[in-house]
């Protein structure tokens, strides 16, 4: 079911500072910030030869990233995103084996304009998982 690792997401308290660490200190290619109000985040993508790093900063009152940063104020790894070919089939398979899909179970459009779903960390070794249809 799983394809490539699409990205690793890191929640950060200061997106500009984190982007500068990747662009300056680490010499990576960093995108312009993208505001995603429906996900409660502002995001920057760091492009690596084999995957991407997604830097996430809270956006708006009700951001899930704000709650994460209350527990880890310096920032930290937030989720892994795996590619799937058919997100509806992936969801149905996961629900059938008792895995928890977050939200209403309907894919939302993610940062790359493609359908995404999130899976409960308690079912996946303590790691929040994002599935993205490619
Ligand atoms: Co993501």
Looking at the predicted structure, is the pLDDT value of residue 111 above 90? no
- Quote the ligand 1 centre to 3 CA distance (angstroms): 15
Please provide the DSSP assignment of 15-49 as one string: HHHHHHIIIIIS--EEPPPEEEGGGTEEEEEEE-S
For residues 110 and 15, which has the higher predicted lDDT (pLDDT)?
15
- Quote the ligand 1 centre to 27 CA distance (angstroms): 22
Q: What is the CATH number of domain 5-133?
A: 3.10.180.10
Q: Per the structure block, which two tokens stand in for 130?
A: 């994002």
Q: Using CB atoms within 10 A of its CB, is residue 56 exposed (0-12), middle (13-18) or buried (19+)? A: buried
- Quote the ligand 1 centre to 64 CA distance (angstroms): 12
**Average pLDDT in the chain:** 95
Are 42 and 34 in contact by the 8 Å Cβ rule? The answer is: yes
User: Which pLDDT does position 14 carry in this prediction?
Assistant: 97
Local structure of 94: helix, strand or coil: helix
User: Which pLDDT does position 12 carry in this prediction?
Assistant: 98
User: What is the C-alpha to C-alpha distance for residues 78 and 97, in angstroms, rounded to an integer?
Assistant: 24
Please give the positions annotated as active site.
130
- Quote the ligand 1 centre to 7 CA distance (angstroms): 7
At 68-95, the pLDDT tens digits run: 999 999 999 999 999 999 999 999 999 9
User: Which pLDDT does position 60 carry in this prediction?
Assistant: 87
User: Which pLDDT does position 62 carry in this prediction?
Assistant: 85
What residues are neighbours of ligand 1 (ion), with CB under 5 Å?
9, 54, 81, 130
- Quote the ligand 1 centre to 80 CA distance (angstroms): 7
Residue extents of the structural domains in the chain: 5-133
């Amino acid at each position: 079911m799983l394809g490539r690792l699409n990205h690793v997401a890191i929640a950060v308290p200061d997106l500009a500072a984190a982007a500068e660490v990747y662009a300056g200190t680490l010499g990576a290619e960093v995108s312009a910030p993208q505001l995603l109000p429906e996900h409660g985040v502002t995001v920057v993508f760091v492009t690596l030869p084999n995957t991407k790093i997604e830097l996430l900063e809270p956006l708006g009152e009700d951001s899930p990233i704000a709650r994460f940063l209350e527990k880890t104020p310096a920032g930290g790894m937030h989720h892994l995103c795996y590619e799937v070919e058919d997100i509806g089939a992936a969801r149905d398979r996961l629900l059938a084996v008792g895995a928890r899909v977050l939200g209403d179970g309907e894919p939302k459009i993610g940062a790359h304009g493609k359908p995404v779903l999130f899976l409960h960390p308690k079912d996946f070794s303590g790691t929040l998982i994002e599935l993205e249809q490619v």
